[in-house]
């Protein structure tokens, strides 16, 4: 189970780091073309979400790999899960449909699995 949690943490970190980097580096127009929900928020909010995603990705891996402050791993996973719940709610509120909300829901479930496992039966 520990190997599965490591794989899941690395996969989540890759997704969130990539998503955060796009939010930080892409222009607003390009982001709106790819993800229309961006037009509902100011650019600073989108960049803030990008920073949170990158910090969350780092929090999933760095403490675990270094063995320092390992409690941050489940906390980062929980924070990312909360972020994805709100992302799913944004898609539902906008009327984007279940297809648009599904990636956020899957990422939230995976993040909850890491958080629950690392807080509970499989701590680092």
Domains of the chain, by residue range, sit at 2-119
Confidence of residue 118 (pLDDT cuts 50, 70, 90): very high
* Percentage of the chain lying above the pLDDT 90 cut: 95
The answer to whether residues 38 and 46 touch, using CB atoms and an 8 Å cutoff, is yes
pLDDT, tens only, 12-36: 999 999 999 999 999 999 999 999 9
Confidence of residue 43 (pLDDT cuts 50, 70, 90): very high
Q: Distance (Å, rounded) from C-alpha 110 to C-alpha 30?
A: 28
Confidence of residue 57 (pLDDT cuts 50, 70, 90): very high
Mean pLDDT of 89-115: 96
Q: Distance (Å, rounded) from C-alpha 12 to C-alpha 77?
A: 9
The pLDDT score that the predictor gives to residue 15 is 98
Mean pLDDT of 84-96: 96
The pLDDT score that the predictor gives to residue 91 is 95
> In this predicted structure, which of 44-48, 55-59, 82-86, 96-100 has the lowest mean pLDDT?
96-100
* Percentage of the chain lying above the pLDDT 70 cut: 100
Reading phi first (left if > 0) and then psi (alpha if -120 to 50, else beta), residue 95 is in left
């Amino acid at each position: 189970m520990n190997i599965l949690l490591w794989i899941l943490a690395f996969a989540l970190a890759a997704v969130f780091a990539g998503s955060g980097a796009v939010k930080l580096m892409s222009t607003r127009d390009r982001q709106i073309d790819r993800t229309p929900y961006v037009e509902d928020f100011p650019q600073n909010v989108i960049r803030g979400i990008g920073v949170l995603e990158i910090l969350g990705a780092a929090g999933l891996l760095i403490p675990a790999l270094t063995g320092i402050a390992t409690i941050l791993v489940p906390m980062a996973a929980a924070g990312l899960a909360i972020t994805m719940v709100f992302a799913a709610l944004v898609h539902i509120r906008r009327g984007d449909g279940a297809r648009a909300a599904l990636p956020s829901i899957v990422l939230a479930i995976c993040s909850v699995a890491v958080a629950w496992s690392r807080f509970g039966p499989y701590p680092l």
